[in-house]
Every structure is written in C-alpha cells, then in structure tokens.
Amino acid sequence: MTTFGIVRHGETEWNAQQRVQGRTDIPLNDTGRAQAAETGARLRAEQVTEGPWDAIVSSPLSRAHETARIIAAELGLPEPELVAELAERAHGEIEGLSFEERAARFAGGVPVPGLESREEVLDRALPSLEALAARHPDGRVLVVSHGGVISTLLHHSSGGAIDGPGRSIPNGSVREFRWGLGGLVLRSTV
C-alpha cells in the first residue's frame, strides 16, 4: 500500500483575487511561499510518528513546482519530479475570470468552452498515481497539485460522498490517500 500526501500549492495573486487559474501559469506570491514553508515544517514534524517521505512529485505549473521545491527543502528531499498529468484542470474560457464574472457569463449551466471534465481529470490523474504507487510500493510520496485535481480525487475516492465540484481546498493543505488493490482511498486530511 502506497501513501500519498496530496498537497494544494500555496497562494497566488489570482487565488487572493478569487480568479479562476486553471492551466494559466500564475506564480506563488509571498503568502504562498510562506504557506509552502509552513506545510513543509508541519510535514517534517509529523515524520517523527508517521515516518519519512520517500519522494516528492509536482504538477509542472510553477505555483505547484515552487511549492514542491520549498517543501522538499524542508524535508531534505531531492528536486521534485514533474508529472504533467497532475496539472490543474483546464478551465477554458473562464480562466482569468473572477468567480462573479464566471457566474454572470456562464449562468444557469451554460457550457464553458474548453472546460476539462472531471472524468478527463481522473483519466489522467489516476494512472499517474498508479504508476507512482508501482514505483514506490509501501512508500510515502508527496504530490503537489491543484484544487481542481484534489477535489476531483476526493469525490472519486469517497464514492461521491464528498462533493468535489465547488469544494474549497485551502492553499497548503494536505489530504492523505492510500493506493492499494482497491485503487485510491482517502485516509485523512492533515
């Protein structure tokens, strides 16, 4: 059984402005860097009881990669491996819009051109986690990703009991999952 600590990247200016980021590559702000350092320190302290982390991987988007590099430094891990399939959900024409602008422009369930479906997110994220689990059997792997990916994994791993769409995932938060014979299972939120 492989343990995954799945971390949401630190804050960006668009997070602070409540803008949809999607695949737009917005860097961390100073608050986000501090959040990443705090998350790394918390994970380092938890290693005393939970055991060390074996590896760290990241979405290639700069906000996730920088978060992963900061956490890796806190934990004494090597440079994070980039995994393209862990990138944020593509949000198409709503990227850059505020939540209010999105609601106004695409009210009442109007389809958003270019919006990646939750199923498409799962179709790329789950095989990448399965491959990581195969490379780290019985290991502990940190995965730095994005709110859209994490909320989709929460919804999937709970059999729909945890509502994924619209769920707020705090910057710097960690969700612990396990990968075993039954696939991905939520263990806890840290």
Starting at the edge strand found earlier in the chain, the sheet holding 183-189 runs 81-82, 55-58, 140-145, 2-8, 174-180, 183-189
Cα 150 to Cα 78, 94, 117, 136: the distances in Å are: 24, 19, 14, 20
Cα 20 to Cα 12, 28, 93, 131, 145: the distances in Å are: 11, 15, 10, 29, 15
**Residue carrying structure tokens 């990968």:** 179
Contact status, residue 57 vs residue 144, Cβ threshold 8 Å: yes
Annotation says 155 is catalytic: no
Catalytic residue, candidates 9, 65, 146, 156: 9
Record the tokens describing residue 183, joined without a space.
């696939």
Q: Largest alpha-carbon pair distance within the chain?
A: 49
Annotation says 156 is catalytic: no
Catalytic residue, candidates 11, 66, 74, 88: 88
Residue type, 102: R
Active site positions, annotated: 9, 88
